[in-house]
Amino acid sequence: MALLYITEYGALQDGVLAKTAMIVNQAPVAVGGAAVLSAVFRNGTRYARLHLDTNGGFGANVDIGTNPIAIANVSMRIAPNATEYFGVNPGDRVSVILATV
């Protein structure tokens, strides 16, 4: 099973995300054949770190917004065992679905 780990950050410090700017680690999101949503980003969240932990496979597709719906092999792709950083807004969520190719 693939898991998407999401960490919320409030600010950059000296141009990088620092542990002291971390707001919360969300509960991991199980990634499968249907799109699922993360928790809503908290007030103050400006950046999100997404890490896709997989046992092989093709990675996942994600969409970020107030009411996102990730579409397999269409939405933004995250490779297996990859970490990506995104600018986000409070109230946004991540939708994720397993990629099939």
pTM for the model:
0.90
Q: Are strands 2-9 and 29-31 parallel, antiparallel or unpaired?
A: antiparallel
- The pLDDT-based confidence of 17 (bands split at 50, 70, 90) is low
Query: What digits encode the pLDDT tens for the residues 29-67?
Result: 999 999 999 999 999 999 999 999 976 678 999 999 999
| 63 token code pair | 């969409």
| 42 token code pair | 């908290």
pLDDT at site 19: 67
